[in-house]
């Protein structure tokens, strides 16, 4: 079985103010990209979740919740100037959130001065920003409900989504690499079935791998917040101490894929430079006493990475760049036999 993403030259649906694209009616594309589903329990479970969404009858749709919907984002990163620009944009968004009273940010605790701060200090600011807006988001709506159909004019949620994207971009640090790394998230979902998506089991967590930018297809996080691995990568010990860690808990109809020119086509689960990461991660968890806060970091649930579900077919890094340049809009996703 294959997973196919349709790409069109013209947009279908709408683009929200946070940069996310959203559609409830699907059309065949001018181009498409395909992955062959893997022979593992995560891919099998993904098919179940996908078909749960696909199986929702149109008669169940209402004004607040369509039968199904797609929300998608494409991110591109690379170059130190891009990083500095993102810091500037993040500061602007923090200021906007202050002015609109969306978050309890302060100039002293949440603004970033890249010329005077070390990278560790910048990470601490990012963690503080993330913690504040996540707290507000979870107050606004329960976590599972946040996966519901996006609202078209909710400035609060749009601002928080922009903050989330910018924080993640800044956390990556200044990259001298001139190559462009691309990352796509596609949430195919229905509010009518999302509460029943299959729960992850230890066998599924054991499939997780760190190498997620090789062009292959992975189950998306589909969760509000940061998991323990993200807390480690950003040295966010306060997230652990405040018991705010959120692990991926379900296999949904949402997927992600990245195509990084350095790792494209390399299906090794752990790349050479990632080898020491797991050991360092375990040591960090031990140092912050994660288990005393309820996070048994040695268990499969806390494995680093994401669950692989599909192998990319008949593409090169260059061909993917060309397809997303010629037809940059996602118009449909489907599972096909073959």
Per mean pLDDT, which of 120-124, 279-283, 331-335 is the most reliable? 331-335
Mean pLDDT of 316-322: 91
Encoding tokens for residue 230? 């993200």
Question: Among residues of the chain, what percentage have pLDDT more than 90?
Answer: 55
Q: Is the predicted pLDDT of residue 177 greater than 80, yes or no? A: no
Among candidates 159, 183, 169, 18, which has minimal Cα distance to 87?
169
Dihedral sign, CA of 272, 273, 276, 277?
A: negative
For 239-264, the pLDDT digits (tens) are: 999 999 999 999 999 999 998 888 88
The residue written with tokens 């062959």 in the block is: 36
pTM over 0.85: no
Question: So where are the chain's domains?
Answer: 2-77+179-336, 79-176
Contact between 22 and 66 under an 8 Å Cβ cutoff? The reply is no
CA distance 270 to 276: 10
How many other C-beta atoms lie within 10 A of the C-beta of residue 219?
Answer: 27
């Amino acid at each position: 079985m294959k997973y196919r993403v349709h790409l069109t030259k013209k947009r279908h649906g709408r683009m929200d103010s946070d940069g996310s694209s959203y559609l409830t009616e699907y059309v065949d594309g001018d181009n498409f990209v395909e992955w062959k589903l893997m022979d593992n329990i995560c891919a099998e479970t993904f098919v179940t979740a996908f078909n749960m969404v696909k199986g929702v009858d149109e008669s169940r749709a209402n004004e607040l919740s369509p039968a199904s919907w797609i929300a998608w984002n494409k991110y591109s990163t690379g170059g130190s100037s891009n990083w500095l620009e993102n810091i500037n944009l993040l500061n602007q968004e923090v200021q906007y959130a202050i002015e609109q009273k969306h978050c309890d940010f302060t100039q002293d605790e949440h603004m970033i001065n890249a010329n005077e701060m070390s990278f560790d200090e910048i990470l601490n600011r990012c963690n503080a920003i993330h913690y504040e807006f996540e707290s507000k988001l979870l107050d606004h709506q329960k976590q599972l409900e946040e996966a519901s159909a996006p609202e078209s004019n909710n400035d609060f949620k749009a601002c928080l989504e922009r903050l989330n994207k910018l924080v993640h971009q800044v956390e990556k640090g200044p990259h001298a690499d001139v190559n462009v790394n691309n990352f796509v998230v596609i949430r195919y979902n229905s509010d009518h079935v999302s509460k029943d998506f299959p729960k992850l089991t230890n066998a599924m967590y054991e499939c997780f791998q760190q190498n997620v930018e090789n062009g292959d297809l992975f189950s998306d996080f589909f969760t509000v917040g940061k998991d323990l691995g993200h807390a480690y990568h950003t040295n966010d010990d306060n997230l652990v101490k405040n018991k705010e860690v959120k692990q991926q808990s379900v296999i949904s109809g949402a997927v992600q894929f990245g195509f990084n020119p350095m790792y494209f086509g390399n299906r090794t689960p752990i790349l050479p430079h990632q080898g020491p990461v797991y050991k360092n991660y375990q040591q960090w968890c031990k140092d912050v006493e994660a288990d005393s806060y309820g996070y048994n970091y040695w268990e499969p649930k806390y494995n680093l990475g994401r669950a692989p579900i599909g192998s990319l077919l008949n593409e090169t890094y260059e061909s993917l760049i060309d397809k997303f340049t010629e037809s940059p809009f996602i118009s449909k996703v489907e599972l096909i036999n073959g």
